[in-house]
Amino acid sequence: MNKAILMGRLTRDPEVRTTQSQIAVASFTLAVDRRFKNAAGEREADFIPVTCWRGLADLAGKYLTKGTKIIVVGAIQTSTYEDKDGKKVYKTEIVADEIEFAESKKSQGNQQEEPYIKKEETYIKDEDSTELPFDL
């Protein structure tokens, strides 16, 4: 079984592009705090690359922005390729199956009381649909 669940904040807005076969793909980096503080008493973070495909990529590009706190559920995927100098490059990323908002608009500094999502339907799932399962 290969399943990863991460919670963190986007370090930048998602980059959405389309493949040659017209499939949407979005990528972003998630800053995930480590559980324990270092010797200096500071909490460190890991910066995890995340990729979304198809409908989930479109939704990520439309609703996620730098600083948004989210939960990502997906699989760890590794790959290798040769760069322009012929050097072997290793890549590890999370391929997202689900994305869930982890805080309300109010907790991000917005004065609105409404959360991003309804509690009954708390996730965005790739079902090749352009409609969201919640109201914004």
Q: What is the pLDDT of residues 17-70, one digit of tens each?
A: 999 999 999 999 999 999 999 999 999 999 999 999 999 999 999 999 999 999
- Decide if 132 is inside a domain: no
What are residue 113's phi and psi, to 5 degrees? Answer: -80, -25
| pLDDT band at 121; cut points 50, 70, 90 | very low
What's the total number of domains in the chain? 1
- Decide if 10 is inside a domain: yes
Domain that holds residue 61: 4-125
- Decide if 94 is inside a domain: yes
- Decide if 133 is inside a domain: no
DSSP notation for 17-28 = EE-TTS-EEEEE
How confident is the model over 57-83, as pLDDT tens digits? 999 999 999 999 999 999 999 999 999
- Decide if 134 is inside a domain: no
CATH code of 94's domain: 2.40.50.140
- Decide if 136 is inside a domain: no
* Token pair for 73: 């559920």
Question: What's the burial of 82, exposed, middle or buried (CB within 10 Å: 0-12/13-18/19+)?
Answer: exposed
